């Protein structure tokens, strides 16, 4: 395999055609002082066999989720990914397909997107879903911009209990558009209704909450929704789609825009990305939805088919006046979610959610009986919770990593005022034995 496709003869032919003697002559207009003269700090060339050996050696230094018992969460979860998903998304019709602008050659991709949208809309009880965004954070930030456009108001209220990275993305998206972003504080690990009351006004476009929130707790979504709507603002949520197997969907508490991170639906952790941004809304907001929407239609012979719809608002047509500067979607990740949802079905999602709930509550009960450990909050939670620890979380994390246990996320790095907070996530994959091993390990920290 030729790694450098130009032979000496090729280079000579090209230089002759250009009309120069040598490569040095070709770049003679680059001043001497700007040229890098030293040798590159690179190892000597290796044979293919040597490269394979080297890379294999390096990959053995990786630590992955399958080598350990993981309690890591915070938006990226170790849920089970059935083998059928990898098989289907690896088919070259899906794997290599690029953008499905042309319906005459993209029916399979468009139908998959349409089915994804239909399942997401049903899971969230929302009227319309788009073809997906980059990830949960960018979906939520786009939702904020939708609310600003719809209400023509310039302030966004964001619960502090929203994922800190998502909050950063919201601020980045709003920066430069003169949109004010204000944080709403929490009490007992959930959003404070009195604080919303004191901060919401007739310039507030949206109230944004995550449910379950970053700390794992359930928010008072019905009350927050009502309070938000009384002030003429939109209620925007970020939801864990797995939680919707057991919790009321956002449509039931009248969310105007519902978003979420879809990694947990049949997508591997992928070293942090690519992930899947879920975005759904009420139908009256359909023209504000960024990115793509696949629609069902009929051709001139009355046969069912699929097209991208509302393209007139996208960047490749509307240029700088487009609804959003996203001009793609996470098609393969959305397909994985579609296959996952189809495989699991209504009862499968409910079972996964119930197992997460049972596992996390078993673990939380056992941990709070350990000396020095306490549950940080008394609020109801789903699959994730915060414990306060007798020693710094970083010490626990380091110590348990040596025992192949990923204890959780050290919350001292965020703005929750928790020096000793450890965020622990428990999925359906954790066995009772694994939970007990974790508890034993915590006893000895």
Footprint on this chain of another protein (rule: CB under 8 A) = 152, 287, 312-313, 317-318, 321
Identify which of residues 286 and 370 has a Cβ nearer to another protein in the complex. Answer: 286
CB of 153 to another protein, least distance (A): 12
CB of 312 to another protein, least distance (A): 5
212 cis-preceded (ω within 30 degrees of 0): yes
CB of 297 to another protein, least distance (A): 12
CB of 300 to another protein, least distance (A): 15
Identify which of residues 152 and 303 has a Cβ nearer to another protein in the complex. Answer: 152
- Mapping DSSP onto H, E and C, the string for the chain reads CCCCCCCHHHHHHHHHHHCCCCHHHHCCCCCHHHCCCCCCCCCCCCCHHHHHHHHHHHHCCCCCHHHCEECCCCCCCCCCCCHHHHHHHCCHHHHCCCCCCCHHHCHHHHHHHHHHHHHHHHHHCCCEECCCECCHHHHHHHHHHHHHHHHCCCEEEEECCCCHHHHHHHHHHHCCCCCEEEEECEECCEECHHHHHHHCCCCEEEEEEEECCCCCECCCHHHHHHHHHHCCCEEEEEECHHHHHCCCCHHHHCCCEEEEECCCCCCCCHHHCCCCEEEEECHHHHHHCCCCEEEEEECCCCCEEEEEECHHHCHHHHHHHCCCCCCCCCHHHHHHHHHHHHHHHHHHHHHHHHHHHHHHHHHHHHHHCCCCCEECCCCCECCEEEEECCCCHHHHHHHHHCCCEECCEEHHHCCCCCCCEEEEECCCCCCHHHHHHHHHHHHCC
CB of 318 to another protein, least distance (A): 6
Identify which of residues 312 and 401 has a Cβ nearer to another protein in the complex. Answer: 312
- Closest by CA to 116, choosing from 342, 397, 365, 417, is 342
CB of 287 to another protein, least distance (A): 6
CB of 87 to another protein, least distance (A): 39
Measured torsion, CA atoms of residues 363, 364, 367, 368, in degrees rounded to the nearest 10: -160
CB of 146 to another protein, least distance (A): 14
Identify which of residues 150 and 384 has a Cβ nearer to another protein in the complex. Answer: 150
Identify which of residues 160 and 288 has a Cβ nearer to another protein in the complex. Answer: 288
- Beta partners for 257? 236, 281
Identify which of residues 303 and 321 has a Cβ nearer to another protein in the complex. Answer: 321
Contact 251, 200 (CB under 8 A): no
Identify which of residues 60 and 152 has a Cβ nearer to another protein in the complex. Answer: 152
CB of 203 to another protein, least distance (A): 15
Identify which of residues 326 and 337 has a Cβ nearer to another protein in the complex. Answer: 326
Q: Which residue has the tokens 């003269």?
A: 37
Q: Is the dihedral of CA 279, 282, 286, 288 positive or negative?
A: negative
Phi and psi (nearest 5°) for 22? -145, 170
Identify which of residues 142 and 314 has a Cβ nearer to another protein in the complex. Answer: 314
In sequence order, the 6+-apart residues with CB closer than 8 A to the CB of 30 are none
CB of 117 to another protein, least distance (A): 20
C-alpha span between 149 and 396 (Å, rounded): 46
Identify which of residues 22 and 325 has a Cβ nearer to another protein in the complex. Answer: 325
CB of 311 to another protein, least distance (A): 9
Identify which of residues 163 and 282 has a Cβ nearer to another protein in the complex. Answer: 282
CB of 320 to another protein, least distance (A): 11
Identify which of residues 105 and 317 has a Cβ nearer to another protein in the complex. Answer: 317
């Amino acid at each position: 395999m030729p790694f450098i496709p130009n032979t000496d003869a090729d280079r000579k032919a090209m230089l002759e055609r250009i009309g120069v003697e040598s490569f040095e002559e070709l770049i003679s207009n680059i001043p001497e002082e700007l040229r890098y003269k030293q040798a590159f700090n690179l190892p000597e060339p290796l044979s293919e066999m040597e490269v394979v050996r080297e890379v294999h050696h390096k990959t053995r230094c990786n630590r992955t989720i399958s080598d350990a018992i993981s309690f890591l969460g915070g938006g990226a979860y170790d849920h089970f990914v059935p083998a059928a998903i990898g098989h289907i998304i690896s088919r070259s019709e899906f794997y290599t397909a690029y953008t499905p602008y042309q319906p005459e050659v993209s029916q399979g991709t468009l139908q998959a997107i349409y089915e994804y949208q239909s399942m997401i809309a049903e899971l969230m009880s929302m009227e319309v879903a788009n073809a997906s965004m980059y990830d949960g954070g960018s979906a939520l930030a786009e939702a904020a911009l939708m609310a600003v456009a719809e209400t023509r108001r310039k302030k966004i209220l964001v619960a502090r209990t929203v994922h800190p990275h998502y909050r950063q993305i919201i601020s980045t998206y709003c920066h430069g558009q003169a949109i004010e972003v204000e944080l709403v504080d929490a009490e007992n690990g959930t959003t404070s209704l009195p604080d919303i009351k004191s901060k919401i006004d007739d310039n507030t476009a949206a109230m944004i909450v995550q449910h379950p929130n970053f700390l794992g707790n359930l928010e008072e979504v019905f009350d927050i929704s009502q309070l938000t709507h009384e002030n003429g603002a939109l209620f925007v949520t970020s939801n864990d789609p797995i939680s919707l197997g057991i919790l009321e969907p956002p449509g039931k508490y009248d969310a105007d825009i519902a978003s979420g991170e879809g990694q947990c639906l049949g997508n591997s952790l992928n070293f942090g990305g690519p992930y899947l941004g879920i975005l759904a809304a009420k139908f009256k907001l359909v023209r504000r939805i960024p990115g793509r929407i696949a629609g069902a239609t009929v051709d001139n012979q009355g046969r069912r088919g699929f097209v991208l719809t509302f393209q007139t608002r996208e960047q490749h047509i509307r240029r700088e006046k487009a609804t959003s500067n996203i001009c793609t979607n996470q098609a393969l990740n959305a397909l994985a979610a579609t296959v996952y949802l189809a495989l699991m079905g209504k009862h499968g999602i409910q079972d996964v959610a119930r197992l997460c709930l049972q596992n996390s509550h078993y673990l939380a009960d056992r941990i709070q009986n350990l000396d020095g450990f306490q549950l940080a909050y008394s609020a109801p939670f789903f699959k994730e919770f915060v414990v306060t620890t007798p020693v710094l979380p970083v010490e626990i994390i380091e110590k348990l990593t040596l025992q192949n246990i990923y204890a959780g996320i050290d919350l001292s790095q965020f703005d929750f005022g928790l020096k000793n907070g450890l965020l622990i996530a428990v999925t359906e994959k954790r066995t009772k034995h694994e939970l007990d091993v974790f508890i034993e390990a915590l006893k000895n920290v």
